[in-house]
Amino acid sequence: EQILPAVVTVQSEMIISQVPRDDNHKFFWEKQGEEDSEFFQQGTGSGIIITKDGYILTNYHVIENATSFNIILYDRREYQAKFIGGDPNTDVGLIKITAANLPTAFIGNSDSIKIGEWVMAVGSPLNFSSTITAGIISALGRNIRIIDSEYGVENFIQTDAVINPGNSGGALINLNGEVIGLNTAIATRTGLYQGYGFAIPINLATKIVHDIVTFGEVRRGLLGVSISEVNSRVAKGVGLSRPTGVFVQGLQPGKAAEQAGLRSGDVILSVDGSEVISVNDLQIRIASKNPDQVVVLKVWRDLEEVTFRVKLGQAPINQTINSNNNHRKKPFKNLGMQIRDLTSMEQKTFDLKSGVFIDNVKGGSPANKGGIFPGFVIYRFNDEQIKDKDDFESKLSKMKTGQVVKFTIRPPGFRDAADDRILFVEVDEQ
Q: Could you tell me if 153 and 208 lie in one domain?
A: yes
Cα–Cα distance measured from residue 199 to residue 186, given in angstroms and rounded to the nearest whole number:
9
pLDDT value at residue 187: 54
Is a pLDDT exceeding 50 seen at residue 430? no
pLDDT value at residue 360: 83
Which listed residue (12, 168, 270, 278) is catalytic? 168
> Which carries the bigger pLDDT value, residue 24 or residue 407?
407
Residue 181: inside a domain? yes
Which listed residue (12, 61, 160, 278) is catalytic? 61
Identify the domain boundary among 215, 237, 257: 215
Q: Could you tell me if 87 and 211 lie in one domain?
A: yes
Q: Could you tell me if 200 and 259 lie in one domain?
A: no
Q: Could you tell me if 389 and 305 lie in one domain?
A: no
Residue 122: inside a domain? yes
Residue 328: inside a domain? no
| Low-confidence winner among 36-50, 186-200, 228-242 (lowest mean pLDDT) | 186-200
Q: Could you tell me if 191 and 244 lie in one domain?
A: no
Are the CB atoms for 334 and 393 separated by under 8 Å?
Answer: yes
pLDDT value at residue 307: 96
pLDDT value at residue 293: 94
Q: Name 190's Cβ contacts closer than 8 Å, sequence gap at least 6.
A: none
Number of neighbouring beta carbons within 10 Å of residue 35: 11
> Which carries the bigger pLDDT value, residue 247 or residue 187?
247
Catalytic, 61? Answer yes
Identify the domain boundary among 179, 197, 215: 215
Are the CB atoms for 32 and 14 separated by under 8 Å?
Answer: no
Identify the domain boundary among 314, 349, 383: 314
pLDDT value at residue 24: 47
User: What CATH number did the domain enclosing 261 receive?
Assistant: 2.30.42.10
What are the E-state strand segments in 73-114? 78-80, 82-87, 92-96, 106-107
Q: Could you tell me if 181 and 112 lie in one domain?
A: yes
pLDDT tier for residue 277 given thresholds of 50, 70 and 90: confident
Cα–Cα distance measured from residue 364 to residue 62, given in angstroms and rounded to the nearest whole number:
16
Residue 375: inside a domain? yes
How many distinct structural domains can be found in the chain?
3
pLDDT value at residue 19: 47
| Low-confidence winner among 118-122, 225-229, 281-285, 290-294 (lowest mean pLDDT) | 281-285
**How long is the chain?**
430
Catalytic, 359? Answer no
User: What CATH number did the domain enclosing 56 receive?
Assistant: 2.40.10.120
Q: Could you tell me if 48 and 193 lie in one domain?
A: yes
The SS3 assignment for 227 reads: strand
| Low-confidence winner among 4-18, 194-208, 316-330, 373-387 (lowest mean pLDDT) | 316-330
Q: Name 322's Cβ contacts closer than 8 Å, sequence gap at least 6.
A: 84, 85, 212, 216, 217
Segment 26-32 shows an average pLDDT of 50
Cα–Cα distance measured from residue 366 to residue 336, given in angstroms and rounded to the nearest whole number:
6
Is a pLDDT exceeding 70 seen at residue 166? yes
pTM higher than 0.75, yes or no?
A: no
Q: Could you tell me if 362 and 409 lie in one domain?
A: yes
Please give the mean pLDDT across all residues of the chain: 83
What are the E-state strand segments in 293-395? 294-301, 304-311, 313-314, 321-322, 337-341, 356-361, 377-381, 384-385
Catalytic, 25? Answer no
pLDDT tens digits, 49-107: 999 999 999 999 888 878 888 999 999 899 999 999 988 888 899 999 999 999 999 99
Residue 124: inside a domain? yes
Which listed residue (12, 46, 87, 91) is catalytic? 91
Segment 244-254 shows an average pLDDT of 92
Q: Could you tell me if 262 and 397 lie in one domain?
A: no
Backbone angles phi, psi at 360, to 5 degrees: -155, 150
| Range list of H helices, 244-388 | 256-260, 279-287, 344-350, 366-369
Is a pLDDT exceeding 70 seen at residue 429? no
Residue 321: inside a domain? no
Q: Could you tell me if 363 and 307 lie in one domain?
A: no
Look at strands 66-72 and 39-49 and give their pairing. unpaired
| Low-confidence winner among 256-260, 300-304, 314-318, 350-354 (lowest mean pLDDT) | 314-318
Amino acid at 317: I
pLDDT value at residue 369: 86
pLDDT tier for residue 255 given thresholds of 50, 70 and 90: very high
> Which carries the bigger pLDDT value, residue 226 or residue 29?
226
Domain that holds residue 110: 4-215
Residue 323: inside a domain? no
| H-helix or E-strand spanning residue 390 | helix 389-397
pLDDT value at residue 125: 67
Q: Could you tell me if 254 and 109 lie in one domain?
A: no
Backbone angles phi, psi at 127, to 5 degrees: 70, 10
pLDDT tens digits, 285-329: 898 888 999 999 999 999 999 999 999 998 876 544 544 433 344
Give the percent of the chain with pLDDT over 70. 82
Is a pLDDT exceeding 80 seen at residue 138? yes
| Range list of H helices, 115-245 | 202-215, 232-238
Q: Could you tell me if 62 and 201 lie in one domain?
A: yes
> Which carries the bigger pLDDT value, residue 109 or residue 127?
109
Give the percent of the chain with pLDDT over 90. 44
pLDDT value at residue 391: 92
Residue 342: inside a domain? yes
pLDDT tier for residue 362 given thresholds of 50, 70 and 90: confident
